[in-house]
Structure 1
Amino acid sequence: MTRPSQDEPTASNPHQVRDQVERTRQELGRTVEALAARTDIRGRAQEKAAEVKEQAAAKAGELKAEAVRATSRLQDKLPDPVRAQAAHGTRLARDNRTVLLAAAGAGVALWLLCRTKR
């Protein structure tokens, strides 16, 4: 059996001994929990991943809001004819999305074919 620490007086009656044992059990339980948490590498990694994911989502939201503000400022500075032409181009792209995607796919395929022949 171990000796009590210097800062904790020894118990003089059975009630004090029980209290001292209970305190020691609680301290030991907290110590074991802390050690178990430190050795749970997978759990710690998952917690860290969740934390990083949350931070990334928050940063992405900030960047998106800043991009919207910058786009709005740029659109306000554009002359009216340019703004109208850009809106017309956007409408055409949305209306012909399938054709646009097919042309982009064909361009990528052509680029890959030319690249592999070298």
Structure 2
Amino acid sequence: MTQPPHDEQTASSPEELREQVEHTRQELGQTVEELAAKTDVKARAQEKAAAVKEQAGQKAAELTGQVKAKAADATQLVRDKLPDPVKEKAAQAAQQVKVKAGQAGQVLQDKTPEPVREKAGQIAPVARENRTALFAAGGVILAAVLLLRRGRGKK
């Protein structure tokens, strides 16, 4: 048997010896777990990747805020430097566009048959929820039309 270290006292009873052995086992188990964690390269890489991803997200949010602030400043600067007659003319044009759009919408609504309006009312919420899919489908249809037109032009 080996001698106990000088700074440790020896057990005076079998029960104390068992407690010391159990304590030593626990310490050894913790040490082994710590060493195993240090050698788990995949887990450490994943932890590091998660930390980097979090930092990147924070930096992106920070930069987005800065860009928005600078854009708002630039917009305000342009507004401040625009002559009043230009501002008034732009406001009048915007109002005219709004009125014309409202009139066009009313004409369209008046001329659209009731069953079509009902169907459109049912489809509109679904379309709003699936915008990405609709845009993708529209892009595919546009590409197909362009390819067909291009193919006919070569004949």
Q: 2:67, 2:75 → 1: CA distance?
A: 12
In structure 1, the residue matched to 2:105 is none
* Partner residue, 1:49: 49
Normalised TM-score (structure 2): 0.50
CA RMSD across the alignment: 2.3
CA distance in 1, matches of 2:60, 2:72: 18
Q: CA deviation at 1:5?
A: 2.4
Larger radius of gyration: 2
Structure 1, residues 35-81: CA drift from partner, whole Å, max 9, x if none? 10111001100000000000000000000011000100010000344
Taking a change above 3 Å as real, the CA distance of residues 68 and 16 of structure 1, as seen in their structure-2 partners, is same
Q: Show the counterpart of 1:28.
A: 28
Structure 1: tracts of 5 or more residues without a match: 89-97, 103-118
Query: What is the letter of the counterpart of residue 74 of structure 1?
Result: A
The one-letter amino acid of 2:11's match is A
Change over 3 Å in CA distance of 1:2–1:38 after alignment to 2 = farther
Partner residue, 1:64: 64
**TM-score normalised by length of structure 1:** 0.65
Bigger mean CA offset, 3-12 vs 41-50? 3-12
SS of the residue aligned with 1:68?
helix
**Which residue in 2 is equivalent to 1:37?**
37
Q: Distance in 1 between matches of 2:53 and 2:3?
A: 49
Deviation at 1:12, TM superposition (A): 1.1
Secondary structure at the residue paired with 1:34? helix
What is aligned with 1:74? 74
Runs of 4 or more, structure 1, over 3 Å off, are 79-82
Query: Which amino acid counterpart does residue 23 of structure 2 have in structure 1?
Result: R
Shift of 1:2: 4.1
